[in-house]
Structure 1
Amino acid sequence: MKVLITDEISQEGLQPLLDDPRIEIEVRLGLAPEELYRIVGRFDALITRSGTTVDEALLEHCRNLKIVARAGVGIDNVDVDAASSRGIIVVNAPYGNVNSAAEHTMAVMLSLCRNVPVANTSLKQGEWQRAPFTGCELKDKTLGIIGLGKVGGRVALRAKAFEMNVIACDPYISPKRAEDLGVKLVSKEDIVRYADIITLHCPRNEETIDMLNARHFDAMKDGVIIVNVARGEIVNEAAMLAAMQSGKVRGAAFDVFSEEPPRSDLVKQLIAHPRMIVTPHLGANTFEAQKNVAVDVSKEIVRYLDGQPLDSAVNIPRFDADLMQVMQPFLSLIQQMGEFIVQLAPANPSKVTFSYNGKLARYDCAPLTVCGLASLLNRSTEQDVNMVNSQLIAEQMGISVETVCSTEAESFSNLITITMTTPAGKRTVAGTIFEGIPKIVKMRDFNTDFQPEEHMLVISYADKPGLIGKIGTILGEAGINIGSMNLGRRAKSGEAMVVLSLDTPAPAEVLEQLATSIDAAFIRSIHMENGICDN
């Protein structure tokens, strides 16, 4: 196997490749795109960091490429879809820099609390001042961690060693995982209200952009400290700057920004603020981390060569062709079911059960389970979750996964049921394939019959005359068209559940109006991407 390395990679970390006589390595750094296009066709594997863009234009020249290895967590510079369409596996190194990021969080937090940067500058300028640089201790302070994953969990352990009171918010972490870390799980609102120091450790996605905004800053304690060594856009930078300027925030330590390097006046003003400690995205920049990520991707290439399962593939592995022919319709169904239920279930799941009934249970349902699990977890972690790594990530999050198979069936020849167990109770959805179309046929103990759509609205309420009309009127006045409606109820004048497909999403103010108008027991807006689990 011929391996091309196009970015600076720790030589020590490449030892697994150097020790394998089947592998030939060529290091070519700083190549112009035209030169890279000319030579890349000769190689079976490509190792990069962030300096090489692996896009459609490059992949068109990769005649023999089997695997792209990104020595780091992020894969923003790799077009995974284009690689997958060519059968090229993409792997990354999601764990190699975890410790580095956690330690950097503690480093900037301590530096901020003890005024290390400004005191250092003052002393080097020939001054000898102590009083202006009086700091504060971490002991007995309340640390609020938003995101208790790989990095956030390590920060929690280190904060406990400093005798801090640690609270955390992460709807995708089980209570047992938090208990093991000695952390109390609370809502984000409680972190905003009670924390002396807030640190963020979550991925950048549609759920986390502007996770802390002006409304949250207004609710914080006076003199709060903000630490962000995760992603730039999860803190609204305009609100952050305003809170610094008003004195609401005593100080902040940022390693990441919405622009890297900074270009806009806003980001430059934020960086220049005297109470802001900043570093240029150094969270993963330790010699140990660089070695670790190189070792991780090198081992993945050796595993690929040996035909072994890959630990950190970010696109979908191949399954037996005969099995996939049977499973393909159900892969689409279970992915949509997983994406649907995770938006309805209470926070902090401890267990997910996948039940298969009917003819389907005669087959190996493992591909279905990992696909459904991936769709459940994909909103919750900085690592892309797929059919390869979903079980491992669930284990790390403290979520147990159970599979139940039975060839016995009642109403349907094939039925898939997903049950999520949380501290607040269980949520269940069941689905089947009807004339080739994925249908959800049960929610909790309500019988339903609908096809998941991009924009949906789920409402439960006490069944009374005229409420359906009110729902339609409120949505109509908001300019939101109803595509379809499915109504389920237990008994006349009992609890009812309505599932609406909408042409456009319902904004928060419309949801509030609906909830008040019909006295809804539950209301939730659902956004489905309508994707199909790749194979």
Structure 2
Amino acid sequence: MKIIVTDEVSAEGLALLTQEPRIQLDVKLGLSKQQLLDIIGNYDAIITRSGTNVDRDLLDAGKNLKIVARAGVGIDNVDVDYASSKGVIVVNAPFGNTNSAAEHTMALLLSFCRNVTIANASLKSGEWKRAPFTGQELKAKVAGVIGLGKVGGRVATRLKAFECEVLACDPYISVKRAHDLGVKLVSHDEIYKNCDIITVHTPLNDETRNMIGPREFGLMKTGVVILNVARGGIINEQALLENLLSGKVTGGAVDVWSEEPPKSEHVKQLIACDRLVVTPHLGANTFEAQVNVAIDVSREIINYLDDKPMENAVNIPRFDLALMDQMRPFLNLMRVICDFGIQLLDSNPETLTFSYAGTIAHYDCSPLTVCGLSALLDRMVDQDVNMVNASLIAEQMGIVVEETKSTQAGAFSNTITLVAESKGTRRLISGALFEGSPRIVRLRDYNMEFAPEEHMLLMNYADRPGMIGKIGSIMGTHEINIASMNLGRSEKKGEAMVILALDSAIPPNILDEIKIATEATFIKALHMKIDTCSRNCGCGA
């Protein structure tokens, strides 16, 4: 695997990759956009920080790209949607710099509250002044934390240690999580109305862009302190500047900007405001954090090479890591079901329904559904299909994908069923696990239990004496050995279904001979991929 590193990334953190014989690592810093476009097609992965814009042009030029690895939390410099459409996995390092960002938040807050930056400049200039730099304590202040994730949670804990009363707002956090941190969950507006200090710790997306603007500043107390050590653009910078100038906001600290480096006049004015402590995006800039994020993305690339689950892939649906070992056999079962089922269709499906029954239905099954969709589409289209782009490709093809779940178990503790419908035909196949191994347990209306083999023959014919003998005789004449056979029928002398496991593939001319001899209404030679999911899938099975 060839990997290019285009931004400053800790060499210590990249040691996992430099020591890996399967990897060629090229560090090329300071490339112009055109220079990078000229060479990116030679690489399977790119490792960046915020200095490289992974846009459509780069993704189009990266014909062999499989992974974009962002050595940090933010991915706003990566066009994730377009990467997904091209089947490129995007990974980040959301936890490596959490402590660094939390500590920087507290450093900026304390610097503002105790006038550290201006007192430092005053003393170094030869002055000895104390009265102008009288500060304020954190004790007994009401602090509002917007976003109670990894960084926000650490900031809340540190604010509690300084004896602040902490209110928090995060629609994705449980009351228990807030209780464990010792904070009170409230609405956004309650944060704005009641807090002396407000700090944001959310990602930048369509939901959070300009989240704090003129309306929100209008709700705040006069004299409020504002901090942003998350992403530039969450707080409307023009509105922040106006409220600093009016005195509504007494001051605060900002580490991140909508433009880095700043270009607009209002951003430059904001940075110049003497009541704002500012830093040039240093939240993750500790030696420890830089090593940690590099290690995290390096591990993800090694996981990819080793066909292991990718913990921080932002565009792959995945199970909770605590469930991964438990769910991995079901991922393989899903692939087997879909690999079998797609070969029974004569045309592209119009509707695909994935059904889960038993205890498995208590869990989020979307990773299973996407894994199955990936396996199906990989047989149907020329382009590479994986869990990243499977849903997008299905949508483009006009395929309706549905998912149903029932905790009611039938004959098996857990079953997965695929129903594919196309042009009036309907194919149903169900599978279950036997001691961790996949088994097909139902085809259409027939209960049949068998282990999939590499070479198989499936056929339907009218149930009458001598049919099995005819099949065996033709197979024997052509020296095709039958390894096993499973037979089902709808009723006596009705329709019969037989599935044969063979030691070798059956040629088309012999297939025609059997069809004529048995007057088969349906006959299909199947070739199964008896292995785990391909690396391209990304599911980790």
TM-score, with length taken from structure 1 = 0.61
Q: Which residue of 1 aligns with 2:315?
A: 315
In structure 2, what is the Cα distance between the partners aligned to 1:207 and 1:24?
A: 39
Q: What pairs with 1:355-394 in structure 2 (closer than 5 Å)?
A: 360-361=356-357, 368-370=365-367
**How far has the Cα of 1:115 moved from its partner?**
0.3
Contact 2:359 2:407 in 1 (8 A): no
Question: What amino acid maps onto 1:405 in structure 2?
Answer: T
Q: Which residue of 2 aligns with 1:123?
A: 123
Question: What amino acid maps onto 2:7 in structure 1?
Answer: D
In structure 1, what is the Cα distance between the partners aligned to 2:350 and 2:228?
A: 41
Structure 2: gaps (5+ residues): 319-330, 343-347, 371-385, 389-404, 411-415, 425-537
Question: What amino acid maps onto 2:22 in structure 1?
Answer: R
Question: What amino acid maps onto 2:149 in structure 1?
Answer: G
Q: Give CA deviations for 1:200-225 in whole Å, capped at 9, x if unaligned.
A: 11122333233223333233222211
Q: What pairs with 1:308-457 in structure 2 (closer than 5 Å)?
A: 308-316=308-316, 360-361=356-357, 368-370=365-367, 405-406=407-408
Contact 2:197 2:226 in 1 (8 A): yes
Contact 1:360 1:407 in 2 (8 A): no
Q: Which residue of 2 aligns with 1:88?
A: 88
CA, structure 1 residues 198+54, in 2 after alignment: closer, same or farther (shift >3 Å)?
closer
Q: What pairs with 1:191-202 in structure 2 (closer than 5 Å)?
A: 191-202=191-202
Q: Give CA deviations for 1:351-379 in whole Å, capped at 9, x if unaligned.
A: xxxxx9xx653797667445999xxxxxx
**How far has the Cα of 1:234 moved from its partner?**
2.1
Question: What amino acid maps onto 1:294 in structure 2?
Answer: A
Q: Which residue of 2 aligns with 1:249?
A: 249
Question: What amino acid maps onto 1:149 in structure 2?
Answer: G
Contact 2:5 2:48 in 1 (8 A): yes
In structure 1, what is the Cα distance between the partners aligned to 2:230 and 2:30?
A: 28
**How far has the Cα of 1:237 moved from its partner?**
2.4
Contact 2:148 2:170 in 1 (8 A): yes
Contact 2:317 2:366 in 1 (8 A): no
Q: Which residue of 2 aligns with 1:101?
A: 101
Question: What amino acid maps onto 2:279 in structure 1?
Answer: T
Q: Which residue of 1 aligns with 2:395?
A: none
CA, structure 1 residues 288+329, in 2 after alignment: closer, same or farther (shift >3 Å)?
farther
Q: Which residue of 1 aligns with 2:453?
A: none
Q: What pairs with 1:29-428 in structure 2 (closer than 5 Å)?
A: 29-316=29-316, 360-361=356-357, 368-370=365-367, 405-406=407-408
Contact 2:74 2:203 in 1 (8 A): no
**How far has the Cα of 1:158 moved from its partner?**
0.8
**How far has the Cα of 1:187 moved from its partner?**
1.7
CA, structure 1 residues 370+304, in 2 after alignment: closer, same or farther (shift >3 Å)?
closer
In structure 2, what is the Cα distance between the partners aligned to 1:332 and 1:250?
A: 58
CA, structure 1 residues 257+329, in 2 after alignment: closer, same or farther (shift >3 Å)?
farther
Contact 2:199 2:226 in 1 (8 A): yes
CA, structure 1 residues 139+363, in 2 after alignment: closer, same or farther (shift >3 Å)?
closer
In structure 2, what is the Cα distance between the partners aligned to 1:90 and 1:108?
A: 31
In structure 2, what is the Cα distance between the partners aligned to 1:291 and 1:105?
A: 20
In structure 2, what is the Cα distance between the partners aligned to 1:102 and 1:387?
A: 33
**How far has the Cα of 1:159 moved from its partner?**
0.9
**Counterpart secondary structure, 2:13:** helix
**How far has the Cα of 1:175 moved from its partner?**
0.3
Question: What amino acid maps onto 2:252 in structure 1?
Answer: A
In structure 2, what is the Cα distance between the partners aligned to 1:273 and 1:360?
A: 59
CA, structure 1 residues 70+329, in 2 after alignment: closer, same or farther (shift >3 Å)?
farther
**Which piece of structure 1 moves more, 49-58 or 290-299?**
49-58
**How far has the Cα of 1:22 moved from its partner?**
2.3
**How far has the Cα of 1:127 moved from its partner?**
0.3
TM-score, with length taken from structure 2 = 0.61
CA, structure 1 residues 98+65, in 2 after alignment: closer, same or farther (shift >3 Å)?
same
In structure 2, what is the Cα distance between the partners aligned to 1:11 and 1:96?
A: 15
Q: Which residue of 2 aligns with 1:3?
A: 3
Contact 2:303 2:309 in 1 (8 A): yes
Q: Give CA deviations for 1:448-468 in whole Å, capped at 9, x if unaligned.
A: xxxxxxxxxxxxxxxxxxxxx
**How far has the Cα of 1:323 moved from its partner?**
5.4
Question: What amino acid maps onto 2:46 in structure 1?
Answer: L
Question: What amino acid maps onto 1:141 in structure 2?
Answer: K
Question: What amino acid maps onto 1:75 in structure 2?
Answer: I
**Counterpart secondary structure, 1:257:** coil
CA, structure 1 residues 148+332, in 2 after alignment: closer, same or farther (shift >3 Å)?
farther
Contact 1:367 1:387 in 2 (8 A): no
**Which piece of structure 1 moves more, 238-247 or 148-157?**
238-247
Identity across the alignment (%): 59
CA, structure 1 residues 177+23, in 2 after alignment: closer, same or farther (shift >3 Å)?
same
Q: Give CA deviations for 1:490-524 in whole Å, capped at 9, x if unaligned.
A: xxxxxxxxxxxxxxxxxxxxxxxxxxxxxxxxxxx
In structure 1, what is the Cα distance between the partners aligned to 2:359 and 2:141?
A: 54
Structure 1: gaps (5+ residues): 334-355, 374-385, 389-402, 409-413, 416-432, 437-533
CA, structure 1 residues 210+245, in 2 after alignment: closer, same or farther (shift >3 Å)?
same
CA, structure 1 residues 206+324, in 2 after alignment: closer, same or farther (shift >3 Å)?
farther
Q: Give CA deviations for 1:159-191 in whole Å, capped at 9, x if unaligned.
A: 111111111111211000001101111122222
CA, structure 1 residues 83+278, in 2 after alignment: closer, same or farther (shift >3 Å)?
same
**How far has the Cα of 1:297 moved from its partner?**
0.6
Q: Which residue of 2 aligns with 1:351?
A: none
**How far has the Cα of 1:79 moved from its partner?**
2.9
Give the superposed CA RMSD: 3.6
Larger Rg: 2
**Counterpart secondary structure, 2:25:** strand
In structure 2, what is the Cα distance between the partners aligned to 1:314 and 1:186?
A: 28
Q: Give CA deviations for 1:99-145 in whole Å, capped at 9, x if unaligned.
A: 11111110110000000011011111110000100001111111111
In structure 1, what is the Cα distance between the partners aligned to 2:35 and 2:263?
A: 30
CA, structure 1 residues 64+370, in 2 after alignment: closer, same or farther (shift >3 Å)?
closer
**Counterpart secondary structure, 1:12:** coil
In structure 1, what is the Cα distance between the partners aligned to 2:365 and 2:117?
A: 53
CA, structure 1 residues 9+332, in 2 after alignment: closer, same or farther (shift >3 Å)?
farther
CA, structure 1 residues 306+221, in 2 after alignment: closer, same or farther (shift >3 Å)?
same
In structure 1, what is the Cα distance between the partners aligned to 2:368 and 2:252?
A: 40
Q: Which residue of 2 aligns with 1:464?
A: none
**How far has the Cα of 1:324 moved from its partner?**
6.2
**How far has the Cα of 1:308 moved from its partner?**
0.4
Contact 1:371 1:387 in 2 (8 A): no
Q: Give CA deviations for 1:76-117 in whole Å, capped at 9, x if unaligned.
A: 333333433333322111111111111111011000000001
